[in-house]
Amino acid sequence: NAGVTQTPKFRILKIGQSMTLQCAQDMNHNYMYWYRQDPGMGLKLIYYSVGAGITDKGEVPNGYNVSRSTTEDFPLRLELAAPSQTSVYFCASGVVGQETQYFGPGTRLLVL
Amino acid sequence: QKEVEQNSGPLSVPEGAIASLNCTYSDRGSQSFFWYRQYSGKSPELIMFIYSNGDKEDGRFTAQLNKASQYVSLLIRDSQPSDSATYLCAVIKAGNMLTFGGGTRLMVKP
């Protein structure tokens, strides 16, 4: 099992550009999550999904969109990049009834 | 008031000592409590979770929960330089949604 994978590892965007952060898991987990982590801070939940076709907002959803068409994939879309979106983005997955979350390696995003 | 609060540190302990990391939470409805370790530039990895009041031990790690005081702690015995990392406290109020504290940076000096 590859676990949770994320691409790209690092990206520089110009203000106003858009991009999609990819996340995939091969553990057949129902739950998937997107977090952002600013320097020296904890993780904040952006969006989550409890299964294919079902998504919901977390604590900091503004400026982001998600979709969940399959169990395996949970992409995060940034439509109009802003400097405030400079952060490290982590995707995670988990199983219904088990509260452990498994994290991907992260995507470091710099918006200039 | 933040939902989950941790002292940012750094907490510096000598090798072989006990490191004590603390976390307080604001919502009395919080049900489950987690400690994650995060090395610099890496993703968080789960160390321990605890649901009930009292202590839970796993090797060199002990998690302690006091729901009346809304306080959870992590003790690391015989601290090693490899334990140097940021330790994130997280709680679940309902469902599977984790709320994280800001983390405490631990430095274990040889």
- Tell me: the pLDDT tens digits for B2-24? 789 999 889 999 999 999 999 99
CA distances from B108 to A41, B63, B79, B85 (A): 21, 19, 7, 9
E strand map for B15-84: 19-25, 32-38, 45-50, 54-58, 61-66, 71-76
Most A-contacting residue of B87, B92, B96 (CB-CB within 10 A), to test interface: B96
Structure letter (DSSP) for residue B96: T
pLDDT for A25-73, tens place per residue? 999 999 999 999 998 888 999 999 999 999 999 999 999 999 999 999 9
Tell me how far the alpha carbon of residue B77 is from its chain's centroid. 14
For residues A53 and A42, is the Cβ–Cβ distance under 8 A? no
Most A-contacting residue of B97, B99, B105 (CB-CB within 10 A), to test interface: B97
Please, which pLDDT band fits residue A97 given cuts at 50, 70 and 90?
low
Q: Which residues, in sequence order, are bridge partners of residue B90?
A: B34, B100
| Contacts for B25 with CB less than 8 Å, ≥ 6 apart | B3, B4, B5, B33, B70, B71, B72, B89, B91
Structure letter (DSSP) for residue B16: T
pLDDT for B45-92, tens place per residue? 999 999 999 999 999 999 999 999 999 999 999 999 999 999 999 998
Rounded to a whole number, what is the distance in Å from the CA of A28 to chain B's nearest CA? 16
User: Among residues 57-76 of chain B, which lie with CB inside 8 Å of chain A?
Assistant: none
Q: State whether residue A83 is helix, strand or coil.
A: helix
Residue A108: its pLDDT value, please? 97
For residues B88 and B38, is the Cβ–Cβ distance under 8 A? yes
- Judged by a CB distance cut-off of 8 A, whether residue B77 touches chain A is no
- Judged by a CB distance cut-off of 8 A, whether residue A104 touches chain B is yes
Residues of A in Cβ contact (< 8 Å) with B42: 105-106
Interval B26-44 mean pLDDT: 92
Using CA coordinates, name the residue in chain A closest to B87.
Answer: A42
Most B-contacting residue of A45, A99, A100, A102 (CB-CB within 10 A), to test interface: A99
| Contacts for A92 with CB less than 8 Å, ≥ 6 apart | A4, A32, A33, A35, A101, A102, A103, A104
Is the C-alpha dihedral spanning A23, A21, A75, A31 positive or negative? positive
CA distance A49 to A68: 7
